[in-house]
C-alpha cells in the first residue's frame, strides 16, 4: 500500500468514452481493469466525471451558425480560446455519462464533476477552460495532505493531460500512467500533449512500475 499522501486520479471512465460510446476512445475499455488494479494500491483515490448540460458550448450540435450545423472535431473560436467541437457526450444524468460498471473502487473518496458550466468546457479536473475557474480539486487535495498525484484514464491527450499539467502547476509531484490511459489523437494532439507534459515535469510511467512502487 502506498503512502497516504499519494493520490490516484481516475479520469472520465464513462460509457461515452468507451467503444460504442458517443465520443469513443479506441480501446478505452481496456483501462478499466488496470485502473482497478492500481486503485488497490492507493489509500486515496479520486474519480472524475465529464458532466455537461445538454446545451453545452462544446457540442457541435449546439452551433447552428450561418453556414449550417458545425461538424464534430472542427474548432471554434470562443472568448476563452479555441474550442474543439465534440459530438454530444456525457450529458448530465444519461447512461453515457455513467461510470463504467466494472470500475471497482469502493474506497474512492471524492468524485469531481467537470464541464457543468454551459458556456465553458473543462478538460482539466482542476481548472476550467477559461483557465481561471477552479473545480475545487486543488484545495481538496491540499487540505487532505496530498503530495503526489498519479493520473490516468480517458483521454490521454485531453482530460488526462490537462489534469496532469494542472496538478503539476498546482505544486503536486505528478505522474501520468500511460498504459492505464488511451488517447483520442486528433491532429497530432497526443504527441503535442507528451511534449507539454515532459516540459512541465510530469513523469511518464507504466502501471507495473507504479504497482511495484518504483515510481
Q: Which residues of this chain interact with Zn ion, rule CB under 5 A?
A: 50, 115
Q: Give catalytic status of residue 90 as yes or no.
A: no
Query: Cell 471512465 appears where?
Result: 13
Shortest Å, Cβ 42 to Zn ion? 25
Residues 11-50 that bind ligand VGL (CB under 6 A): 12, 17, 50
**What's the rounded Cα separation, in Å, for the pair 179 and 205?**
8
CB 100 within 8 A of CB 90: no
- Which cell goes with 102? 466494472
157 belongs to the catalytic site? no
By the rule CB under 6 A, 57 interacts with ligand VGL: no
Q: In the numeric block, which cell numbers belong to residue 100?
A: 463504467
Stretch in the footprint of ligand VGL (CB under 6 A) among 69-77, 91-99, 153-161, 165-173:
153-161
Question: How would you classify the pairing of strands 75-78 and 81-84?
Answer: antiparallel
Q: Which of 151/155 has CB closer to ligand VGL? A: 155
What cell does 120 get?
Answer: 465553458
- Please count the residues of this chain forming the interface with ligand VGL, following the rule CB under 6 A: 9
**What is the three-class DSSP state of 49?**
strand
| Residues 89/22, Cβ–Cβ less than 8 Å | yes
Which residue do the cell numbers 483520442 mark? 184
**Interaction mask 111-150, ligand VGL, x per CB under 6 A:** ------------x---------------------------
Query: Is residue 185 annotated as a catalytic residue, yes or no?
Result: no
Annotated catalytic residues are 12, 114, 159
Q: What residues line the site for ligand VGL (CB under 6 A)?
A: 12, 17, 50, 86, 123, 154-155, 158-159
Amino acid at each position: 500500500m502506498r503512502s497516504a499522501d499519494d493520490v490516484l486520479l481516475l479520469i472520465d471512465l464513462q460509457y461515452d468514452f468507451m467503444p460504442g460510446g458517443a465520443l469513443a476512445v479506441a480501446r478505452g475499455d481496456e483501462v478499466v481493469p488496470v485502473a482497478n488494479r492500481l486503485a488497490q494500491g492507493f489509500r486515496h483515490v479520486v474519480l472524475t466525471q465529464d458532466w455537461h448540460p445538454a446545451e453545452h458550448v462544446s457540442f457541435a450540435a449546439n452551433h447552428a451558425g450561418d453556414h449550417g450545423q458545425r461538424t464534430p472535431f472542427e474548432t471554434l473560436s470562443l472568448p476563452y480560446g479555441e474550442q474543439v467541437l465534440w459530438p454530444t457526450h456525457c450529458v448530465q444524468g444519461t447512461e453515457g455519462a455513467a461510470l463504467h460498471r466494472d470500475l471497482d473502487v469502493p474506497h474512492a473518496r471524492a468524485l469531481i464533476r467537470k464541464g457543468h458550466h454551459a458556456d465553458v468546457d473543462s478538460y482539466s479536473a482542476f481548472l476550467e477552460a477559461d483557465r481561471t475557474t477552479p473545480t475545487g480539486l486543488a484545495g481538496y487535495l491540499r487540505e487532505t495532505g496530498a503530495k503526489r498525484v498519479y493520473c490516468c484514464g480517458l483521454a490521454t491527450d485531453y482530460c488526462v493531460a490537462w489534469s496532469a499539467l494542472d496538478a503539476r502547476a498546482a505544486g503536486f509531484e505528478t505522474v501520468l500512467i500511460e498504459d492505464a490511459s488511451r488517447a483520442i489523437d486528433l491532429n497530432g494532439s497526443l504527441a503535442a500533449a507528451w511534449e507539454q507534459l515532459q516540459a512541465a515535469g510530469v513523469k511518464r510511467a507504466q502501471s507495473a512500475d507504479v504497482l511495484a512502487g518504483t515510481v
